[in-house]
Amino acid sequence: MILHQLIDFELLRLIWWLLLGVLLIGFALTDGFDLGVGTLLPFVAKTDSERRVVINTVGPVWEGNQVWFILGGGAIFAAWPPLYAVSFSGFYLAMFLILAALILRPVGFKYRSKRDSYAWRNGWDWALFVGGAVPALLFGVAVGNVLLGVPFRLTENLFSLYEGTFFQLLHPFALLAGVVSLAMLIAHGAAWLTVKADAPAVVERARRFGITAGLLAMGGYALAGLWLAFGIDGFALVGPVITDGPSNPLLSEVTRGGSWLAAYSERPWIVIAPIMGFVGIGLAVRGLARGGEVSALLWSKLGITGVISSVGLTMFPFILPSSIDPRSSLTVWDASSSHLTLFVMLVSTVIFMPLILIYTAWVYKVLWGKVGEDELNSNKNAY
């Protein structure tokens, strides 16, 4: 097949770096509110019918939303195999916790209403809390660790040796990143509840939690920026950068030193991302304070997009730097799939992604409207 030569290897790598961002953002925007709603569940809803309202606001859509996560995993495997191989084996126990939490969630949604017992339902409510809060926190912790550099090295055969431990992941900066991620998704979930829940007490509590979480996310994000500026070394490629060479991280030289934020003097336009982050979350908080419903949700989406993009744009071209052996660091130019695979995957994405967006939008449209107690009583399939 020579068709793939139509698009340069370099450009394909760049496109797949963007698509990686799109998938992570897609996940955070859709499944993000599910995670936030799960975290908020025990706190914003006190009675059983309130809790059922909260759960059923995401009831019909969480399954589809979660596919963004699965697809994210699959796309990293297909387009960035070294990233998939190094990060998931390195973060082994953290990944196990995320998986366990995410397995609890579907089961909790589906099984909670199948028995009419307080202990049963309350138990599943806390399972849904864990299933929401743990992944939301750990995703942030993982991103924090990536910015810090991950303690792995590659052997000459490209076997990955991870030399850290689970508790090393809990560096204060990484924890801060975890808090930002959790707070941001709680605010997002709160905004969703104000739009979808037809239960005034729930909406009122969600508004208050959402405002606090949004402010916390903004404060934490600002603090993390300062920390990056003054407390954490960045990484840089040394020598001429070959952008279409073989995907072998050991073929390039990397140094540690300087600041990640140097990226902002090299590419000043990327400042748009953190601005979007602050403005989006700030206006979402204002929207929540005014009881502004849909606008708060949309602003929150903009804010999340800004925050996630800012991490990627700051680190470019790095995707997984190594703290103990900078040469092993994975970058956009040396950790991708082959030219042909990237092309095949791009073609599949171009065909299916628009279809996915269209039918997902259609499903949301069909299900549009508030979820209240009346609706739950009339639908025997409700959770």
Partner 1 sequence: MEFGIVELSRLQFALTAMYHFLFVPLTLGLSVLIAIMETVYVMTGRLIWRQMTKFWGTLFGINFVLGVATGITMEFQFGMNWSYYSHYVGDIFGAPLAIEGLMAFFLEATFVGLWFFGWDKLSKVAHMIVGWLVAIGSNFSALWILIANGWMQNPVGAHFNPMTMRMEMTSFFEVMFNEVAQAKFVHTVSAGYVTAAIFVLGVSAWFLLKDRHVELARRSIAVASSFGLAAALSVVVLGDESGYSATHTQRMKLAAMEGMWNTEPAPAAFTVIGLPDQAARETHYALHVPHVMGLIATRSLTREIPGINDLVIESEERVRSGIIAYDALMTIRAEREDTPQEVLDTFEEHGNDLGYAFLLMRYLDDPRDASEEQILMAANDTVPMVWPLFWAFRIMVGLGFAFIGVMAYFFVVTNFAGGRYPRWALRAAVAIIPTPWIAAEMGWFVAEYGRQPWTVDGILPTAMSVSHLSITSVALTLAGFIVFYTILFIVEVALLLKYIRKGPEQDVEETEEWMARHEHRLRTHDGKGPFAPPAE
Bond from prior residue into 321 cis (ω within 30 degrees of 0): no
In the complex, the smallest distance separating the C-beta of residue 322 from partner 1, rounded to whole angstroms, is 14
Please check whether residue 79 is in contact with residue 341, taking contact to mean a CB–CB distance below 8 angstroms: yes
- Asked if 363 is part of the footprint of partner 1 (rule: CB under 8 A), the reply reads yes
- Asked if 374 is part of the footprint of partner 1 (rule: CB under 8 A), the reply reads no
Q: Which DSSP helix (H) or strand (E) runs through 208?
A: helix 200-231
**Contacting residue, 161, 232, 279, 324, with partner 1 by CB under 8 A:** 161
Question: Coil, helix or strand for 148?
Answer: helix
Please check whether residue 1 is in contact with residue 284, taking contact to mean a CB–CB distance below 8 angstroms: no
- Comparing CB distances to partner 1, the nearer of 77 and 316 is 77
Q: List, as one string, the DSSP characters of 24-84.
A: HHHHHHHHHHHHHHHHHHHHH--SHHHHHHHHHHHTTTHHHHHHHHHHHHHHHHHH-HHHH
Query: Among 41-49, 195-203, 316-324, 344-352, which window interacts with partner 1 (CB under 8 A)?
Result: 344-352
- Comparing CB distances to partner 1, the nearer of 93 and 229 is 93
In the complex, the smallest distance separating the C-beta of residue 194 from partner 1, rounded to whole angstroms, is 21
Amino acid at the residue 364: Y
In the shown chain, the binding pattern of residues 296 to 335 toward partner 1, with x for contact by CB under 8 A and - for none, equals ----------------------------------------
Site for partner 1 in 56-115 (CB under 8 A): 59-64, 66-67, 69-71, 73-79, 81-82, 84-89, 92-93, 95-96, 99-100, 102-103, 105-107, 109-111, 114-115
In the complex, the smallest distance separating the C-beta of residue 124 from partner 1, rounded to whole angstroms, is 10
**Contacting residue, 223, 360, 372, 373, with partner 1 by CB under 8 A:** 360
Site for partner 1 in 241-260 (CB under 8 A): 246-248, 251
Q: Among 351, 379, 364, which residue's Cα sits nearest to residue 30?
A: 364
Q: Which residues contact 266 (CB under 8 A, 6 or more apart)?
A: none
Q: Which residues contact 168 (CB under 8 A, 6 or more apart)?
A: 151
- Asked if 358 is part of the footprint of partner 1 (rule: CB under 8 A), the reply reads no
In the complex, the smallest distance separating the C-beta of residue 120 from partner 1, rounded to whole angstroms, is 10
- Comparing CB distances to partner 1, the nearer of 230 and 380 is 380
